[in-house]
Amino acid sequence: MKHSALSAALTIDRIEYLVDDADYPDSQAAIEDSWRVALLAVSRRAAREHDLLRQAVFRASAQHPTGATTGWHRGTFIAALVLGMVAVALVTVSPRTGGAALSLQSGMLPAGLLAACSVGVLAWLEPRRASGALWGSHAPARIHPVLAGVWLLFCTGAIMFRWDETDRHQPLPVIAGFVLFVMSSAAALVLWYRGRVTARSGQPLRANSTESADVGGQDPVFTELDQWWAKAGPEYFENDHEKVISARRSVLAYLHKTLLITERDRRRALRESTPPPWRERRR
């Protein structure tokens, strides 16, 4: 009994992880992917094979004229995100000390430059992120609007509550800093939009190109993964038929809980007894 309860808990944890890790463009995509999530949550062997293949395929696709995507690129990606946070922290009032590292007058321009550097590095690494070469789906496009939201929220608060720190005779550095933050936020939103369009098309940007791959209308990365699913999906589904169907109920319940689908969508999906053609999730 304890083993059964532990297994069920692990399955639920796996379902929540896979759903949270996804970036579904709409409810229909989430429902279609519910079968895949259920199978990967139930079959550890399928999940292991899939992860190994996905890593190998993306690693092979990540070749760049100057070399493959390496830990240096991943470290730079993390550094860019940290830089974006440091830009805000530099002039944010600390609740612990009641003051900021720098005042708006002296710190706004350097902070804006840090934000611009952050989004510039993210833009440089975007083809690698979109192609999955950095961390696959672990670096989703929604990273960009989160960063933009932090910057815009900071700017709004600073203008509303701290504008009196500005020297009325020399406001240009502060204004320039705000402009840099706003422009960086706009650039981050453009990166997000571009990433969403790329993810929906199923043709991720290549690391050595600013254009999406177009090989017969289908990216070879997903072609290989789709081929694996076409063979392995039916086999694993047949082996764990009842478990997968049971797990899918939990997937749909979690999709409804997280507001990705409506109750009507969930009930309609529950009436489906056979999965659609198996294929890799695009994002």
Tell me the pLDDT band of 4, cut-offs 50, 70 and 90: low
- The predicted pLDDT at position 137 comes to 55
Q: Which long-range contacts (CB under 8 A, 24 or more apart) does 78-85 make?
A: 79/121, 80/117, 80/118, 80/119, 80/121, 80/122, 80/125, 81/118, 81/122, 81/143, 81/147, 83/114, 83/117, 83/118, 83/121, 84/114, 84/115, 84/118, 84/119, 84/147, 84/150, 84/151, 85/150
Q: Is the pLDDT of residue 125 over 90?
A: no
- The predicted pLDDT at position 181 comes to 96
For residue 121, give both structure tokens. Answer: 């590095």
Which pTM does this prediction carry? 0.57
Q: What does the pLDDT average to over 46-72?
A: 71
Q: Is the pLDDT of residue 59 over 70?
A: no
Q: Is the pLDDT of residue 213 over 50?
A: no
Tell me the pLDDT band of 269, cut-offs 50, 70 and 90: very high
| Interatomic CA distance for residues 15 and 275, integer angstroms | 17
For residues 64 and 169, the model is more confident at: 169
Strand partners, 205: 212
Percent of the residues in the chain that have a pLDDT greater than 70, as a whole number? 79
Most distant CA pair in the chain, distance: 75
Tell me the pLDDT band of 24, cut-offs 50, 70 and 90: confident
Q: Which of 106-110, 184-188, 191-195, 223-227 has the lowest mean pLDDT?
A: 191-195
Q: Is the pLDDT of residue 138 over 70?
A: no
Q: Is the pLDDT of residue 73 over 90?
A: no
Tell me the pLDDT band of 209, cut-offs 50, 70 and 90: very low
Q: Is the pLDDT of residue 65 over 60?
A: no
- The predicted pLDDT at position 235 comes to 93
- The predicted pLDDT at position 2 comes to 44
Q: Is the pLDDT of residue 21 over 80?
A: no
